[in-house]
Amino acid sequence: MSGLDWSVLDMDHGREAERICAGLREAVATRLRRRGVVVAISGGIDSSVCAALAVRAFGPAKVHLLILPERDSDPDSAARANLLASHLGVEPETFDIAPALEAIGAYAARDAAVRTVLPEYDDRWKMKLAISGGSEGAINRFRLVARSPDGAMHERELRLHEYLTIVAATSYKQRLRKTIEYFHADRLHYAVVGTPNRLEYDQGFFVKNGDGSADVKPIAHLYKTQVYAMARHLGLPDRVCEAQPTTDTYSLEQGQDEFYFALPYRSMDLALWALEHGVEAGELAKALDITPVQAAAVYEDIARKRRTTRPLHLRPLLLGTVPSVDAAT
């Protein structure tokens, strides 16, 4: 193959939107036997496109939108979510999950882990996690990045235990949000819509029994580049279409490439497509203007994340057979 570029991700957005909407209607009504859908919207591009497709599929009266901020959420995220809901003609329900996170000890567990490497850290500081090494072929390294009240930046290397504890504590956020989504789904007899795109779904960038849990995932086959293009096709507000992908999990602004992916999302989309279509690392290197060694390292990072996150995709493992249920699924 020669001339690899982002045109490989081009598609007929109108046809694909109609196909997804038809699939949503069939899945929800026939297979799930539900009356409508619940979508938690963050103001990001993925949940916005899922909400827009749901409204197109079912109408605004059958779509329940939730906005679920907490104390580390960027206020602009909720503002974009409200703008989207207004654009779609749906009155959203907002529920601040910070008190519940406080009660369950999520913030306390995270902060205690942070203070093992940065003892002076307290509620006045802001922090995020960063990861590096994936695009160089090195072992991924985990770093804490924090800003003190006087604006000074501090970085500390994290041992695996501290890193996992911070991630586990912040995963409370996604799991609590999903609990709230299913509360509303149960009371309305609706299905829950999951919002991962293909890159996130393939690479395991989700929390098991958190944002990874859903009844239907309408855009899990679309690369994030395609999701942005779909947003434009659906006529979503510019402020939503121009939102950059962040984790919106930590108090310091954080790009997804800082936290998880080896490269920015557009480059990762092309790398994932190229790997799946047998494109040599050298050809990818030319397209992304990186070295062949770096391109090969990106391929290996994709493969490594697939291996390490495979358990996230597994259904609960049974140690015996239940024919009456197995036949139905």
Binding residues: 40-47, 175, 195, 200, 208, 215, 224, 246
DSSP 115: H
Task: Enter the tokens of residue 283.
Answer: 């050809």
Helix axes 224-233, 13-26, angle to 10 degrees: 100
Render 137-170 in DSSP notation, one character per residue: TSPPEEEEEEE-TTS-EEEEE--HHHHHHHHHHH
Q: What residue numbers does the annotated binding site for Mg(2+) cover?
A: 46, 200
Task: Enter the tokens of residue 23.
Answer: 């699939």
Q: What residue numbers does the annotated binding site for deamido-NAD(+) cover?
A: 175, 208, 215
E-strand stretches of 59-202: 63-67, 93-94, 126-132, 141-147, 153-157, 191-192
Q: What SS3 class is residue 65? A: strand
Q: How far is CA 209 from the centre of its chain?
A: 13
Phi, psi dihedral angles at 129 (to 5 degrees):
-105, 150
Q: What residue numbers does the annotated binding site for ATP cover?
A: 40-47, 195, 224, 246
Pairing of strands 37-40, 191-192: parallel
Alpha-carbon span 238 to 231, nearest angstrom: 9
Q: What SS3 class is residue 32? A: coil
Evaluated on CA atoms 242, 245, 248, 252, the torsion sign reads negative
